[in-house]
Amino acid sequence: MTIFDDRFGSDHHPIIVRLRNLRPKPSAGPTLREVWRLEKIPHYKDKTKHAAFVEGFNRAFSVWADSTKSQLEALQANDADNASIADIIEHSFQTCLDEVS
């Protein structure tokens, strides 16, 4: 790791980190996301379908909230910065939405 003293007028110190012997897996590339059509969300007056829809989200987000607590604790224990934590939590929230839909 190299920390540069020349900060180009910034209060930040540029850092170069070289990691050796890593074997990253190539990403599969972007995947197509499914988008909800509003007309397919059950209307609250259709009590059976609407109740099933709401219950599905309640279950999914209960599990998400529980796993997010431990994920936050792990990230904070590793001194992750707030922006990274926010990105990770937002991604997991979006993933939960995608799985429910």
CB 14 within 8 A of CB 7: yes
pLDDT at residue number 6: 66
Q: Rounded to 5 degrees, what are φ and ψ at 30?
A: -65, 145
Q: Which two tokens stand for residue 19?
A: 């990691």
Segment 17-31, tens digit of pLDDT: 777 777 767 777 666
Segment 66-89, tens digit of pLDDT: 888 888 888 888 888 888 888 888
* pLDDT above 80 (res 1): no
Q: So where are the chain's domains? A: 38-101
Strand, coil or helix: 16:
strand
CB 28 within 8 A of CB 95: no
Tell me what percent of the residues of the chain surpass a pLDDT of 90. 0
The C-alpha atoms of residue 56 and residue 59 are separated, in whole angstroms, by 5
